[in-house]
Structure 1
Amino acid sequence: MPALEQRPDVGENVVALTFDDGPSPWTGSILDLLAEHKSQATFFALGCLAAADGGGETLRRIVEAGSEIGNHTFSHPSLPTLDDGAIREELARAGPVIEKASGRTLRYWRPPYFHVDARVREAVSPLGLQEVGCSMMPWDWEWDADRSAAFVLERLQRGSIVCMHDGRPPDEPADLSAPTREASVEAVGMILEAMSHRGLRSVTISELLHSE
Protein backbone atom coordinates (compact mmCIF):
# COMPACT_ATOMS: atom_id res chain seq x y z
CA MET A 1 0.00 0.00 0.00
CA PRO A 2 1.52 3.38 -0.97
CA ALA A 3 2.18 6.00 1.68
CA LEU A 4 -0.47 8.64 2.24
CA GLU A 5 1.15 11.98 1.38
CA GLN A 6 -1.80 14.33 0.90
CA ARG A 7 -5.49 14.40 0.15
CA PRO A 8 -5.95 17.02 -2.59
CA ASP A 9 -9.60 16.09 -3.19
CA VAL A 10 -10.74 16.97 0.33
CA GLY A 11 -13.74 19.28 0.26
CA GLU A 12 -13.14 20.97 3.60
CA ASN A 13 -10.55 23.61 4.48
CA VAL A 14 -8.38 21.23 6.45
CA VAL A 15 -4.75 20.11 6.54
CA ALA A 16 -2.97 17.59 8.77
CA LEU A 17 -0.06 18.76 10.89
CA THR A 18 2.01 15.80 12.03
CA PHE A 19 4.92 15.57 14.46
CA ASP A 20 7.71 13.00 14.74
CA ASP A 21 10.18 11.86 17.39
CA GLY A 22 8.22 12.50 20.59
CA PRO A 23 6.89 12.39 23.18
CA SER A 24 9.14 15.10 24.59
CA PRO A 25 9.20 18.18 26.84
CA TRP A 26 8.06 20.24 23.82
CA THR A 27 5.01 18.16 22.95
CA GLY A 28 2.89 19.89 25.58
CA SER A 29 3.67 23.34 24.16
CA ILE A 30 2.51 22.19 20.73
CA LEU A 31 -0.69 20.79 22.26
CA ASP A 32 -1.31 24.17 23.91
CA LEU A 33 -0.99 25.92 20.55
CA LEU A 34 -3.28 23.42 18.85
CA ALA A 35 -5.91 23.92 21.56
CA GLU A 36 -5.67 27.69 21.20
CA HIS A 37 -6.54 27.31 17.52
CA LYS A 38 -9.16 24.57 18.04
CA SER A 39 -7.01 22.16 16.02
CA GLN A 40 -5.68 18.63 16.29
CA ALA A 41 -2.66 16.81 14.90
CA THR A 42 -1.11 13.37 14.61
CA PHE A 43 2.00 12.57 16.67
CA PHE A 44 4.26 9.74 15.46
CA ALA A 45 5.77 8.50 18.71
CA LEU A 46 8.92 6.51 19.43
CA GLY A 47 8.40 3.48 21.65
CA CYS A 48 11.58 4.16 23.62
CA LEU A 49 10.35 7.64 24.54
CA ALA A 50 6.81 6.45 25.25
CA ALA A 51 8.34 4.05 27.79
CA ALA A 52 10.53 6.75 29.38
CA ASP A 53 9.56 8.80 32.43
CA GLY A 54 6.70 11.13 31.54
CA GLY A 55 6.18 9.60 28.13
CA GLY A 56 2.93 7.87 28.93
CA GLU A 57 1.50 10.97 30.58
CA THR A 58 2.27 13.01 27.47
CA LEU A 59 0.67 10.43 25.19
CA ARG A 60 -2.47 10.45 27.30
CA ARG A 61 -2.59 14.21 27.06
CA ILE A 62 -2.39 13.95 23.26
CA VAL A 63 -5.39 11.64 23.21
CA GLU A 64 -7.36 13.74 25.70
CA ALA A 65 -6.81 16.77 23.46
CA GLY A 66 -8.46 14.96 20.54
CA SER A 67 -5.22 14.45 18.67
CA GLU A 68 -3.94 11.13 17.36
CA ILE A 69 -0.86 8.94 17.80
CA GLY A 70 1.03 6.87 15.24
CA ASN A 71 3.93 4.40 15.39
CA HIS A 72 7.39 5.80 14.54
CA THR A 73 9.26 2.59 15.55
CA PHE A 74 10.87 1.83 18.90
CA SER A 75 14.37 3.27 18.47
CA HIS A 76 14.36 5.33 15.22
CA PRO A 77 16.66 3.23 13.00
CA SER A 78 17.01 3.49 9.24
CA LEU A 79 14.77 0.52 8.46
CA PRO A 80 16.32 -0.53 5.11
CA THR A 81 19.57 -1.31 6.97
CA LEU A 82 17.81 -4.01 9.05
CA ASP A 83 16.74 -7.53 8.14
CA ASP A 84 13.04 -8.29 7.74
CA GLY A 85 12.55 -9.61 11.26
CA ALA A 86 14.25 -6.62 12.86
CA ILE A 87 12.17 -4.23 10.75
CA ARG A 88 8.95 -5.81 11.92
CA GLU A 89 10.20 -5.98 15.52
CA GLU A 90 10.87 -2.22 15.57
CA LEU A 91 7.17 -1.55 15.03
CA ALA A 92 5.82 -4.60 16.84
CA ARG A 93 7.81 -3.66 19.95
CA ALA A 94 6.76 -0.01 19.87
CA GLY A 95 3.07 -0.67 19.23
CA PRO A 96 2.06 -2.24 22.58
CA VAL A 97 4.08 0.31 24.55
CA ILE A 98 2.39 3.23 22.82
CA GLU A 99 -1.05 1.63 22.91
CA LYS A 100 -0.84 0.78 26.61
CA ALA A 101 0.25 4.31 27.47
CA SER A 102 -2.32 6.05 25.27
CA GLY A 103 -5.22 3.63 25.55
CA ARG A 104 -5.71 3.77 21.78
CA THR A 105 -5.18 1.26 18.99
CA LEU A 106 -2.65 2.49 16.43
CA ARG A 107 -3.67 2.77 12.79
CA TYR A 108 -0.73 4.57 11.20
CA TRP A 109 3.05 4.39 11.02
CA ARG A 110 5.84 6.52 9.58
CA PRO A 111 9.38 5.31 8.78
CA PRO A 112 12.23 7.19 10.46
CA TYR A 113 14.01 9.56 8.07
CA PHE A 114 11.36 8.49 5.50
CA HIS A 115 13.83 5.69 4.65
CA VAL A 116 11.57 3.03 3.16
CA ASP A 117 11.53 0.64 0.22
CA ALA A 118 9.44 -2.25 -1.07
CA ARG A 119 11.15 -4.75 1.25
CA VAL A 120 10.45 -2.61 4.32
CA ARG A 121 6.80 -2.21 3.34
CA GLU A 122 6.47 -5.96 2.81
CA ALA A 123 8.00 -6.67 6.22
CA VAL A 124 5.64 -4.24 7.93
CA SER A 125 2.48 -5.23 6.05
CA PRO A 126 1.39 -8.02 8.48
CA LEU A 127 0.97 -5.37 11.18
CA GLY A 128 -1.92 -3.81 9.24
CA LEU A 129 -0.78 -0.20 9.60
CA GLN A 130 -1.24 2.53 6.99
CA GLU A 131 2.02 4.28 6.11
CA VAL A 132 1.86 8.07 6.30
CA GLY A 133 4.30 10.24 4.38
CA CYS A 134 3.94 13.97 3.91
CA SER A 135 3.53 16.65 1.28
CA MET A 136 6.15 18.89 2.87
CA MET A 137 8.72 18.90 5.66
CA PRO A 138 10.68 21.94 6.79
CA TRP A 139 14.06 21.22 8.33
CA ASP A 140 12.64 22.42 11.64
CA TRP A 141 15.23 20.40 13.57
CA GLU A 142 17.84 22.77 12.12
CA TRP A 143 16.14 25.93 10.79
CA ASP A 144 14.93 28.89 12.81
CA ALA A 145 11.19 29.38 13.30
CA ASP A 146 10.77 32.05 10.63
CA ARG A 147 12.35 29.89 7.95
CA SER A 148 10.36 26.78 8.87
CA ALA A 149 7.06 28.67 9.01
CA ALA A 150 7.71 30.41 5.69
CA PHE A 151 8.59 27.10 4.02
CA VAL A 152 5.29 25.56 5.11
CA LEU A 153 3.08 28.57 4.44
CA GLU A 154 4.43 29.03 0.90
CA ARG A 155 3.36 25.46 0.04
CA LEU A 156 0.36 24.81 2.27
CA GLN A 157 -2.95 24.01 0.63
CA ARG A 158 -6.13 22.15 1.46
CA GLY A 159 -5.38 18.46 2.04
CA SER A 160 -1.66 18.92 2.77
CA ILE A 161 0.14 16.70 5.27
CA VAL A 162 2.94 18.58 7.04
CA CYS A 163 5.72 16.78 8.89
CA MET A 164 7.47 18.59 11.75
CA HIS A 165 9.23 17.43 14.92
CA ASP A 166 8.19 17.67 18.56
CA GLY A 167 11.18 15.69 19.85
CA ARG A 168 14.54 14.21 18.98
CA PRO A 169 15.69 10.58 19.02
CA PRO A 170 17.63 9.82 22.22
CA ASP A 171 20.69 8.49 20.38
CA GLU A 172 20.86 11.34 17.86
CA PRO A 173 24.36 12.89 17.67
CA ALA A 174 24.45 16.29 19.36
CA ASP A 175 25.65 18.03 16.20
CA LEU A 176 22.93 16.58 13.95
CA SER A 177 20.22 19.01 15.01
CA ALA A 178 19.36 21.77 17.45
CA PRO A 179 19.48 20.64 21.10
CA THR A 180 15.83 21.61 21.67
CA ARG A 181 12.66 21.90 19.61
CA GLU A 182 11.84 25.43 20.77
CA ALA A 183 12.19 26.72 17.21
CA SER A 184 9.73 24.08 16.03
CA VAL A 185 7.22 25.13 18.70
CA GLU A 186 7.57 28.77 17.68
CA ALA A 187 7.11 27.86 14.01
CA VAL A 188 3.96 25.87 14.80
CA GLY A 189 2.47 28.94 16.47
CA MET A 190 3.22 31.06 13.41
CA ILE A 191 1.79 28.44 11.06
CA LEU A 192 -1.42 28.00 13.03
CA GLU A 193 -1.96 31.75 13.26
CA ALA A 194 -1.53 32.17 9.49
CA MET A 195 -3.78 29.18 8.84
CA SER A 196 -6.57 30.75 10.88
CA HIS A 197 -6.42 33.85 8.69
CA ARG A 198 -6.67 31.62 5.60
CA GLY A 199 -9.64 29.71 7.00
CA LEU A 200 -7.62 26.50 7.35
CA ARG A 201 -7.67 24.14 10.32
CA SER A 202 -5.40 21.25 11.28
CA VAL A 203 -7.02 17.85 11.85
CA THR A 204 -5.81 14.33 12.54
CA ILE A 205 -4.88 11.96 9.73
CA SER A 206 -8.06 9.99 10.43
CA GLU A 207 -10.22 13.10 10.13
CA LEU A 208 -8.43 14.16 6.96
CA LEU A 209 -9.15 10.77 5.41
CA HIS A 210 -12.81 10.84 6.40
CA SER A 211 -13.55 14.48 5.57
CA GLU A 212 -15.89 14.99 2.64
Structure 2
Amino acid sequence: MRRIVIYVLVILATFEFSFAQDSDKDFKWPEKKKAAVCLTFDDGQDSHLDNAIPILDSFNMKATFYCPGNKESLHNRTPEWKKIVENGHELGNHSLFHPCDGRLFDWVLPEYDLNNYSRAQIRMELYTSNTLLKAVDGKTNRTYGYPCSNFKVHGDSTYVDIVKQQFSAARSDGPIPNTMQNIDINFMPSWCVDSHTGKELIAYVEEARKNGTIATFMFHSVGGGYLNVSNEALQELLIYLKENEEDYWVDTFYNVTNYIANQSGNIE
Protein backbone atom coordinates (compact mmCIF):
# COMPACT_ATOMS: atom_id res chain seq x y z
CA MET A 1 0.00 0.00 0.00
CA ARG A 2 2.84 2.35 0.93
CA ARG A 3 4.54 1.72 -2.43
CA ILE A 4 1.32 2.60 -4.24
CA VAL A 5 1.00 5.87 -2.33
CA ILE A 6 4.62 6.79 -3.11
CA TYR A 7 4.10 5.90 -6.76
CA VAL A 8 1.01 8.12 -6.97
CA LEU A 9 2.85 11.02 -5.31
CA VAL A 10 5.72 10.69 -7.79
CA ILE A 11 3.29 10.68 -10.71
CA LEU A 12 1.52 13.80 -9.36
CA ALA A 13 4.81 15.62 -8.79
CA THR A 14 5.96 14.78 -12.31
CA PHE A 15 2.67 16.01 -13.75
CA GLU A 16 2.89 19.25 -11.77
CA PHE A 17 6.47 19.86 -12.94
CA SER A 18 5.53 19.15 -16.56
CA PHE A 19 2.55 21.52 -16.28
CA ALA A 20 4.79 24.29 -14.93
CA GLN A 21 7.25 23.74 -17.78
CA ASP A 22 4.45 23.90 -20.33
CA SER A 23 3.10 27.10 -18.75
CA ASP A 24 6.53 28.70 -18.95
CA LYS A 25 6.81 27.69 -22.60
CA ASP A 26 3.50 29.44 -23.27
CA PHE A 27 4.84 32.67 -21.75
CA LYS A 28 6.91 34.56 -24.29
CA TRP A 29 8.72 37.86 -24.03
CA PRO A 30 8.32 40.22 -26.99
CA GLU A 31 10.61 39.93 -30.02
CA LYS A 32 11.88 36.55 -28.78
CA LYS A 33 13.70 38.13 -25.84
CA LYS A 34 14.85 35.78 -23.10
CA ALA A 35 14.27 38.03 -20.09
CA ALA A 36 12.97 41.42 -19.03
CA VAL A 37 14.93 44.01 -17.07
CA CYS A 38 13.40 46.88 -15.10
CA LEU A 39 15.67 49.63 -13.82
CA THR A 40 13.88 51.39 -10.97
CA PHE A 41 15.19 54.31 -8.90
CA ASP A 42 13.77 55.30 -5.51
CA ASP A 43 13.21 58.50 -3.56
CA GLY A 44 13.14 61.20 -6.25
CA GLN A 45 16.74 62.35 -5.92
CA ASP A 46 18.69 65.06 -7.73
CA SER A 47 21.22 62.34 -8.59
CA HIS A 48 18.56 60.69 -10.72
CA LEU A 49 18.21 63.77 -12.89
CA ASP A 50 21.91 64.67 -12.80
CA ASN A 51 23.50 61.24 -13.18
CA ALA A 52 21.05 58.41 -13.96
CA ILE A 53 19.03 60.11 -16.71
CA PRO A 54 22.03 61.21 -18.83
CA ILE A 55 23.50 57.69 -18.63
CA LEU A 56 20.18 56.03 -19.47
CA ASP A 57 19.43 58.41 -22.31
CA SER A 58 22.86 57.83 -23.84
CA PHE A 59 21.84 54.18 -24.28
CA ASN A 60 18.19 55.01 -25.10
CA MET A 61 17.02 52.86 -22.18
CA LYS A 62 13.88 53.65 -20.22
CA ALA A 63 13.54 53.41 -16.45
CA THR A 64 11.07 53.99 -13.61
CA PHE A 65 11.58 56.62 -10.93
CA TYR A 66 9.62 56.20 -7.68
CA CYS A 67 9.28 59.67 -6.24
CA PRO A 68 7.63 60.57 -2.90
CA GLY A 69 5.43 63.64 -3.07
CA ASN A 70 7.36 65.52 -0.39
CA LYS A 71 10.77 65.43 -2.10
CA GLU A 72 12.58 68.74 -2.54
CA SER A 73 13.80 67.67 -5.97
CA LEU A 74 10.21 67.21 -7.19
CA HIS A 75 9.32 70.66 -5.84
CA ASN A 76 12.42 72.45 -7.14
CA ARG A 77 12.81 70.70 -10.51
CA THR A 78 9.25 69.86 -11.54
CA PRO A 79 9.77 70.70 -15.25
CA GLU A 80 12.71 68.27 -15.42
CA TRP A 81 10.67 65.46 -13.86
CA LYS A 82 7.91 66.16 -16.35
CA LYS A 83 10.44 66.10 -19.18
CA ILE A 84 11.76 62.63 -18.35
CA VAL A 85 8.23 61.24 -18.68
CA GLU A 86 7.85 62.97 -22.04
CA ASN A 87 11.06 61.17 -23.04
CA GLY A 88 9.65 57.74 -22.17
CA HIS A 89 10.62 57.20 -18.55
CA GLU A 90 8.05 56.45 -15.84
CA LEU A 91 7.30 58.56 -12.78
CA GLY A 92 6.04 56.08 -10.20
CA ASN A 93 4.25 56.54 -6.89
CA HIS A 94 6.35 56.14 -3.73
CA SER A 95 3.70 57.62 -1.39
CA LEU A 96 3.64 61.20 -0.07
CA PHE A 97 5.88 60.80 2.97
CA HIS A 98 7.76 57.53 2.41
CA PRO A 99 6.31 55.76 5.48
CA CYS A 100 8.20 52.69 6.71
CA ASP A 101 8.15 50.27 9.61
CA GLY A 102 9.77 52.02 12.56
CA ARG A 103 10.41 48.67 14.22
CA LEU A 104 12.86 47.87 11.42
CA PHE A 105 14.43 51.28 10.76
CA ASP A 106 15.42 53.60 13.61
CA TRP A 107 15.51 56.68 11.34
CA VAL A 108 11.73 56.58 10.75
CA LEU A 109 9.93 59.48 12.43
CA PRO A 110 6.85 58.57 14.51
CA GLU A 111 4.52 60.48 12.18
CA TYR A 112 5.81 58.42 9.24
CA ASP A 113 5.88 55.07 11.02
CA LEU A 114 3.55 52.60 9.31
CA ASN A 115 2.74 51.16 12.74
CA ASN A 116 0.97 54.44 13.47
CA TYR A 117 -0.93 54.46 10.15
CA SER A 118 -4.49 53.29 9.64
CA ARG A 119 -5.63 51.68 6.42
CA ALA A 120 -7.70 54.78 5.68
CA GLN A 121 -4.64 56.97 6.15
CA ILE A 122 -2.41 55.01 3.77
CA ARG A 123 -5.24 54.85 1.24
CA MET A 124 -5.62 58.63 1.22
CA GLU A 125 -1.86 59.19 1.14
CA LEU A 126 -1.48 57.04 -1.98
CA TYR A 127 -4.50 58.69 -3.62
CA THR A 128 -3.18 62.19 -2.89
CA SER A 129 0.27 61.29 -4.20
CA ASN A 130 -1.33 59.99 -7.40
CA THR A 131 -3.14 63.30 -7.78
CA LEU A 132 0.11 65.23 -7.33
CA LEU A 133 2.00 63.10 -9.86
CA LYS A 134 -0.87 63.39 -12.35
CA ALA A 135 -0.49 67.17 -12.11
CA VAL A 136 3.18 66.73 -13.06
CA ASP A 137 2.96 64.28 -15.97
CA GLY A 138 -0.75 63.98 -16.85
CA LYS A 139 -0.74 60.19 -16.41
CA THR A 140 -3.73 58.37 -14.93
CA ASN A 141 -2.20 54.87 -14.83
CA ARG A 142 0.80 54.34 -12.59
CA THR A 143 2.79 51.73 -10.65
CA TYR A 144 3.77 51.78 -6.98
CA GLY A 145 7.01 51.09 -5.14
CA TYR A 146 6.50 50.03 -1.51
CA PRO A 147 8.74 52.31 0.62
CA CYS A 148 11.35 50.13 2.35
CA SER A 149 9.40 47.21 0.79
CA ASN A 150 7.10 47.38 3.85
CA PHE A 151 3.44 46.58 3.25
CA LYS A 152 1.74 46.49 6.67
CA VAL A 153 0.15 49.27 8.70
CA HIS A 154 -1.02 49.46 12.34
CA GLY A 155 -1.88 46.07 13.77
CA ASP A 156 0.12 44.27 11.06
CA SER A 157 -2.70 44.75 8.59
CA THR A 158 -1.52 44.49 5.00
CA TYR A 159 -2.38 47.27 2.58
CA VAL A 160 -1.57 45.28 -0.57
CA ASP A 161 -5.28 45.20 -1.46
CA ILE A 162 -5.39 49.01 -1.33
CA VAL A 163 -2.43 49.16 -3.68
CA LYS A 164 -4.19 46.81 -6.09
CA GLN A 165 -7.15 49.20 -6.23
CA GLN A 166 -5.06 52.25 -7.14
CA PHE A 167 -2.18 50.93 -9.26
CA SER A 168 -1.61 48.72 -12.27
CA ALA A 169 1.31 46.97 -10.54
CA ALA A 170 3.62 47.30 -7.53
CA ARG A 171 7.23 46.53 -6.66
CA SER A 172 8.46 45.02 -3.39
CA ASP A 173 11.67 43.04 -2.83
CA GLY A 174 12.74 39.42 -3.18
CA PRO A 175 14.71 37.03 -5.39
CA ILE A 176 14.48 36.70 -9.14
CA PRO A 177 11.49 34.49 -10.07
CA ASN A 178 12.36 30.95 -11.13
CA THR A 179 9.30 30.86 -13.36
CA MET A 180 6.73 33.23 -14.85
CA GLN A 181 3.94 30.97 -13.63
CA ASN A 182 1.65 32.68 -11.10
CA ILE A 183 3.65 35.91 -11.10
CA ASP A 184 1.94 38.55 -8.91
CA ILE A 185 2.45 41.91 -10.62
CA ASN A 186 1.06 43.62 -7.52
CA PHE A 187 3.95 42.34 -5.41
CA MET A 188 6.89 42.00 -7.76
CA PRO A 189 10.33 41.13 -6.36
CA SER A 190 13.38 43.36 -6.79
CA TRP A 191 17.00 43.66 -5.64
CA CYS A 192 18.10 46.61 -3.51
CA VAL A 193 21.50 47.63 -4.86
CA ASP A 194 24.07 48.90 -2.36
CA SER A 195 27.57 49.65 -3.71
CA HIS A 196 27.58 46.57 -5.95
CA THR A 197 29.94 46.32 -8.88
CA GLY A 198 29.03 46.31 -12.54
CA LYS A 199 29.91 42.61 -12.70
CA GLU A 200 27.48 41.86 -9.87
CA LEU A 201 24.73 43.80 -11.62
CA ILE A 202 25.40 41.87 -14.83
CA ALA A 203 25.31 38.54 -12.98
CA TYR A 204 21.84 39.47 -11.72
CA VAL A 205 20.37 39.91 -15.20
CA GLU A 206 22.14 36.78 -16.40
CA GLU A 207 20.25 34.80 -13.76
CA ALA A 208 16.97 36.18 -15.12
CA ARG A 209 17.99 35.19 -18.63
CA LYS A 210 18.79 31.67 -17.44
CA ASN A 211 15.33 31.43 -15.83
CA GLY A 212 13.53 33.19 -18.69
CA THR A 213 12.01 35.60 -16.18
CA ILE A 214 12.54 39.18 -14.98
CA ALA A 215 15.26 41.13 -13.16
CA THR A 216 14.08 44.27 -11.36
CA PHE A 217 16.68 46.58 -9.83
CA MET A 218 15.91 48.82 -6.87
CA PHE A 219 18.43 51.65 -7.10
CA HIS A 220 18.61 54.65 -4.77
CA SER A 221 21.50 57.12 -4.97
CA VAL A 222 23.45 57.28 -8.22
CA GLY A 223 27.04 58.48 -8.27
CA GLY A 224 27.34 58.94 -4.49
CA GLY A 225 25.06 58.76 -1.46
CA TYR A 226 23.12 56.13 0.48
CA LEU A 227 22.43 52.70 -1.03
CA ASN A 228 24.58 53.89 -3.88
CA VAL A 229 25.30 52.62 -7.36
CA SER A 230 28.31 54.25 -8.99
CA ASN A 231 28.02 55.87 -12.39
CA GLU A 232 30.64 53.41 -13.63
CA ALA A 233 28.76 50.32 -12.40
CA LEU A 234 25.49 51.52 -13.89
CA GLN A 235 27.17 52.28 -17.18
CA GLU A 236 28.87 48.87 -17.21
CA LEU A 237 25.47 47.21 -16.79
CA LEU A 238 23.91 49.26 -19.59
CA ILE A 239 26.81 48.51 -21.94
CA TYR A 240 26.25 44.80 -21.31
CA LEU A 241 22.49 45.10 -21.86
CA LYS A 242 23.05 47.04 -25.08
CA GLU A 243 25.53 44.47 -26.37
CA ASN A 244 23.04 41.69 -25.58
CA GLU A 245 19.82 43.48 -26.51
CA GLU A 246 18.68 40.48 -28.53
CA ASP A 247 18.22 38.68 -25.18
CA TYR A 248 16.99 41.44 -22.85
CA TRP A 249 13.90 43.62 -22.95
CA VAL A 250 14.70 46.75 -20.94
CA ASP A 251 11.69 48.95 -20.25
CA THR A 252 9.71 50.77 -17.57
CA PHE A 253 8.12 48.80 -14.78
CA TYR A 254 4.70 49.89 -16.04
CA ASN A 255 5.28 48.63 -19.59
CA VAL A 256 6.78 45.31 -18.52
CA THR A 257 4.15 44.48 -15.89
CA ASN A 258 1.37 45.51 -18.25
CA TYR A 259 2.77 43.07 -20.81
CA ILE A 260 2.99 40.33 -18.17
CA ALA A 261 -0.65 40.91 -17.20
CA ASN A 262 -1.77 40.63 -20.81
CA GLN A 263 0.36 37.55 -21.48
CA SER A 264 -0.90 35.81 -18.35
CA GLY A 265 -4.46 36.57 -19.33
CA ASN A 266 -3.93 35.06 -22.77
CA ILE A 267 -2.39 31.93 -21.28
CA GLU A 268 -5.30 31.38 -18.91
**Alignment TM class, shorter chain as reference:** 0.7 to 0.9
Q: Secondary structure at the match of 2:88?
A: coil
Paired letter, 2:169: Q
Counterpart of 2:82 (choices 52, 55, 60) is 60
How far the C-alpha of 1:52 sits from its partner, in A, is: 2.5
How far the C-alpha of 1:201 sits from its partner, in A, is: 4.3
TM-score computed with the length of structure 1 as normaliser: 0.74
Partner in structure 1 of residue 160 of structure 2: 121
How far the C-alpha of 1:28 sits from its partner, in A, is: 3.6
CA contact (8 A) 1:23 1:59 kept: no
How far the C-alpha of 1:10 sits from its partner, in A, is: 1.7
TM-score computed with the length of structure 2 as normaliser: 0.61
Q: Which runs of 5+ in 2 are unaligned?
A: 1-26, 102-113, 173-187, 264-268
CA contact (8 A) 2:37 2:205 kept: no
Partner in structure 2 of residue 139 of structure 1: 193
Q: Secondary structure at the match of 2:82?
A: helix
- Does the C-alpha gap of structure 1 residues 156 and 46 become closer, same or farther in structure 2, counting only changes over 3 Å? same
RMSD: 3.0
Distance in structure 2 (CA, Å) of the matches to 1:68 and 1:190 = 22
Identity over the aligned pairs, expressed in percent? 21
CA contact (8 A) 2:220 2:229 kept: no
Q: Give structure 1 regions of 4+ aligned residues with deviation exceeding 6 angstroms.
A: none
Q: Which runs of 5+ in 1 are unaligned?
A: 1-7, 169-177
- Does the C-alpha gap of structure 1 residues 15 and 101 become closer, same or farther in structure 2, counting only changes over 3 Å? same
How far the C-alpha of 1:151 sits from its partner, in A, is: 5.2
- Does the C-alpha gap of structure 1 residues 186 and 76 become closer, same or farther in structure 2, counting only changes over 3 Å? farther
How far the C-alpha of 1:123 sits from its partner, in A, is: 3.5
User: Larger C-alpha radius of gyration, 1 or 2?
Assistant: 2
Paired letter, 1:123: I
Paired letter, 1:186: E
1:42-191 paired onto structure 2 within 5 Å: 42-49=64-71, 51-54=74-77, 56-78=78-100, 80-81=114-115, 82-117=117-152, 119-133=158-172, 134-140=188-194, 143-146=195-198, 149-150=201-202, 152-157=204-209, 159-167=213-221, 179=225, 183-191=229-237
- Does the C-alpha gap of structure 1 residues 204 and 150 become closer, same or farther in structure 2, counting only changes over 3 Å? closer
User: Structure 1 or 2: larger helix share?
Assistant: 2
Distance in structure 2 (CA, Å) of the matches to 1:36 and 1:23 = 19
Which one scores higher on RCO, CA 8 angstroms, separation ≥ 6? 1
